[in-house]
Amino acid sequence: MSSCFDLKEGSSSILIRPYLRTVLNVFLFSPRVPRGHALIFLGLWCGLAAAAQAGPVLKVLEPRGAQQGQVFTLTLKGEGLTPGAEINTTLPGSLSRLAPSRDLTTPESELPFLVQLKEDARVGLYPIRIRTDEGLSNVLLFSVGTFPEVIETESLLPTVANKELEKGSNDTPATAQRLVLPVTVNGTLVGPDQDYYRFAAKAGERLVFEVEARRDGSAIDPVVRVLDGSGRELASNNDALGLGVDARVEVSFAKTGDYYVLVHDAKYSDQEQNFYRLKIGSYAYAEGFFPLGWQRGGTVDVSLFGGNLKAPVKVKPNLALPASQNYVPVSLPGGASLPFQLVLGDLPEILEPAEVSAVKSEAVYTLPPATVVNGRISHPGEVDKYRLNVSPGQHWTFEVQAATLGTSRLDAFLSLYDPKTNKPLALADLLDKDDPYKQLIEAGKIVVQRLSYTVPNDVREVIVAVEDLLGRGGLNYSYRLLASEQPADFSLEVATPFVNIPVHGTTAIEVMVKRRGYLGPIHLSIPDLPEDIVQEGGDFPAENNPQMGARPGYITLTAKAEAKRRSFPISVWGEAVSANPPLRRKASVTGMVTAVKGTDQKPFQAPWLDSTLPVAVAKAVPLTLETPNRHIRLPQGRRYELQWKLIKPSQMTAPLKVYPRASYFLKDFLVERKKVEKESEYPTEGMLKLTTSLTTPAVTFDLILDGVGQGGDEYRGEKLVTARAVTVEIVPLYELKLLSEKLEIKRGQKLGLPGKVQREPGFDGVIRVRAEGLPEQVSCPEVVIAGDQNDFRLVFAASPDAKAGEFEVHLGSSATVPERKEQQDYIIPELKARLVVSAETVPVQAAK
């Protein structure tokens, strides 16, 4: 079963991964799906995902890094690495293509290059990917360092029956590999593997032992231990400050002699990406920096602190970077450690006043709106408070970033204070009763790092407070605070790190939406697409009862038959369809993804690589999945049969199954395969039944169909083929249209308001229309519209004593559905209209 969950990055099924996650979430965690059926479905999808191919795959870089200025052979290992592959990288230096080995047991599994790094190459991580006729590969990261490099000898050994040969292993102190310092060791860990290295140190010498692993895209959680010659532990570290789960320790040696350094995985897990880079040397390093970010194009002194620095070191990074880059590397001049990543924003930024972090400071400082405040919880128990001027009825959003950035230890949470009493407000009381976070906040099971607030009538000022969940503080407890006047919001993230589109074929891009108060429909779009690429779909339906977490939506890209093979970047944007003022958000991207096995393990991502999504047009595949209709108007309570057809070469006789992606999450909506009495063993066409009820929400969403067929000998494994998005618009059985949404009437007058019924074909039910919320002394009798009528007229009558003014009235309606057995009224959402009662009085008259 584990092989199914490895299909995230660095596997042959990169494009199917988001689909699997959606399917598994629906089938494993839906109370409506029997457990046995869920497990059967899981097994089915694990099997097809393991076989699906989506472009070339990079699995290994040999070596994983190199010293500045060196010449070396870089070998890419994986699948589908054709000799003519184009390498895409930002490595500072020159690359020359070498001929692949003639002794490869698996064709197209290696690509060698001769690399000459520049002498002044910046220490850091550089992405490497390739592009072939099959499309783009995944990204692997290459590390440039300052020390001479060696390879762990054990990692070069062949395997016999899945066990390393004893000769040359470094699993014990007795077989430890000898090192000459300074050095960077490129090694690997397999399950319970422990790698020992022997080195010599002089009395009084101080050495830093640092392990790069997770930062480089490895899945291991490294531990480093330093031992004396007898095996006694001198120092160890698991998660070092500023390094995430990577490890670092500095040791001062009391006497001259041989010592050992041991590297192992914290959980002794067996990971696919299992490499590490062990740096040993005498060098300066920092454990943090401040501020955590700054405005693009601005200037700021960034202070690096902690570690073995005697005093903070200030650097001034270049922030004049393009909009596609949301991070900038920050490091010590001449440092050997990988750089930190400073956030680049587009809003104004300021530093917190120095007094805010003063010990026991009770001061409250002004919080400028739409400005990022870079602050720090400098002392344990500190609470930073900011005053914001507000007006009744305004909608404000407060957001704090800290530990989620990976560069701060602050587990920050927000609270609002009443400036009159200086007491915190109950956060749960600030949320709507239907907000999914309300109950968790009341139970104390969630930390608020983002808060929406509607200003009450009697409030002119609010105090925003930032503190650590556990009351901690220090130099590494920095944050970024933003207050924005805005209505409800949402955020988007592209779930796939890259996209391959076959010529004359289609690929679906999965985008996850997190609703932050805005519950209306969202439409996705990709601006500035080339003319030979067609986008379709991109509809997120409105949600009346939002759930916690993210929902998937899809936009499909289709390459025309004449599309040229090449790669290009895109950006996915989402627009709130019903927001006022307009609301547009750019979808973030993951950069790359590495799966990490284990319970509660999050995948590694590298959003600092780029803010755009790489796309490639690849060679055509032999399968095409077509649907005759790509826009379906489906009335509530009706069914629709969606036909699909597979276009394939005649020599392909493998079975095909079509599955809809579960992207709609609608109440009372069902998609199922229509069974055929004498179904062919290898069908090339079929039908899906879409079934609604009268209570299915009237929304618009996209149906994505995937088909799986077995290719012939010339095709590698099974092929995943995707149809162009089918937009499904679920609509009411009828709609009411008024001639005018505003009616002016004088006291003592009767006026008719004409309207029209727009019925869906086949609906001839009786409709009743009534006006509700009328002011006193104003009446409007109910109107009954027969099944064969579409015009109606509402008659409003205002008595001479009617109250003058402008009022909002609601026009409700209900209908009978002839084919429905139960006699329950069918109700659609009400209309709103404005009724103006003039102060002028006229004699009572008949309706006009």
Structure tokens, 57: 């795959």
pLDDT given for residue 664 in this prediction: 64
Q: 792 phi and psi, to 5 degrees? A: -145, 170
Q: Per the domain annotation, does 52 fall within a domain?
A: no
Number of CB atoms found within 10 A of residue 653's CB? 12
Q: Per the domain annotation, does 716 fall within a domain?
A: yes
Q: Per the domain annotation, does 21 fall within a domain?
A: no
pLDDT given for residue 45 in this prediction: 35
Domain with 456 in it: what CATH number? 2.60.120.380
In this structure, the answer to whether residues 277 and 297 fall within a common structural domain is: no
Number of CB atoms found within 10 A of residue 24's CB? 18
Q: Per the domain annotation, does 42 fall within a domain?
A: no
In this structure, the answer to whether residues 241 and 112 fall within a common structural domain is: yes
In this structure, the answer to whether residues 754 and 690 fall within a common structural domain is: no
Q: Per the domain annotation, does 846 fall within a domain?
A: no
Domain boundary among 281, 304, 323: 281
pTM summary value = 0.86
In this structure, the answer to whether residues 70 and 102 fall within a common structural domain is: yes
Domain boundary among 731, 755, 788: 731
In this structure, the answer to whether residues 673 and 543 fall within a common structural domain is: yes
Q: Per the domain annotation, does 459 fall within a domain?
A: yes
pLDDT given for residue 212 in this prediction: 98
| Nearest in space to 483 (alpha carbons), one of 392, 403, 389 | 389
Q: Per the domain annotation, does 556 fall within a domain?
A: yes
In this structure, the answer to whether residues 98 and 120 fall within a common structural domain is: yes
In this structure, the answer to whether residues 766 and 644 fall within a common structural domain is: no
Euclidean distance between CA atoms 537 and 657, whole angstroms: 22
Cis previous bond, 291, omega within 30 = yes
In this structure, the answer to whether residues 236 and 297 fall within a common structural domain is: no
Q: How would you write 549-617 as a 3-class SS string?
A: CCEEEEEEEEECCCCCCCEEEECCEEEECCCCCCCEEECECCCCEECCCCCCCCCEECHHHCCCEEEEE
Between the alpha carbon of residue 508 and those of residues 188, 553, 812, the distances in Å are: 36, 10, 40
In this structure, the answer to whether residues 515 and 626 fall within a common structural domain is: yes
How many CA atoms lie within 13 Å of 121's alpha carbon, on the beta-carbon side? 28
pLDDT given for residue 707 in this prediction: 82
Between the alpha carbon of residue 329 and those of residues 300, 318, 338, the distances in Å are: 14, 9, 9
Q: Per the domain annotation, does 28 fall within a domain?
A: no
| Nearest in space to 610 (alpha carbons), one of 568, 559, 558, 565 | 568
In this structure, the answer to whether residues 240 and 380 fall within a common structural domain is: no
Token pair 């006694």 in the structure block, residue: 232
Pair 631, 726: CB distance under 8 Å: yes
For 352-361, the CB contacts below 8 A with 24+ separation are 352/376, 352/384, 356/384, 356/385, 357/382, 357/384
Domain boundary among 456, 486, 516: 486
Structure tokens, 261: 């350094």
Mean pLDDT by 10 residues, the chain (848 residues): 28 32 36 36 33 75 98 97 94 94 88 97 98 97 98 78 59 96 97 96 98 98 98 97 97 98 96 98 98 97 98 97 94 97 97 70 86 96 94 92 94 89 74 57 62 88 94 96 90 95 96 91 97 96 77 95 96 92 93 93 93 96 90 96 87 71 79 79 84 93 81 47 95 95 94 96 95 95 96 96 94 90 85 93 63
Instruction: Say which residues have a Cβ less than 8 Å from residue 297's Cβ, sequence separation at least 6.
Output: 319, 320
Domain extent at residue 470? 350-486
pLDDT given for residue 658 in this prediction: 80
pLDDT given for residue 357 in this prediction: 57
In this structure, the answer to whether residues 97 and 230 fall within a common structural domain is: yes
Euclidean distance between CA atoms 770 and 171, whole angstroms: 83
Instruction: Provide the domain count of the chain.
Output: 5
In this structure, the answer to whether residues 183 and 205 fall within a common structural domain is: yes
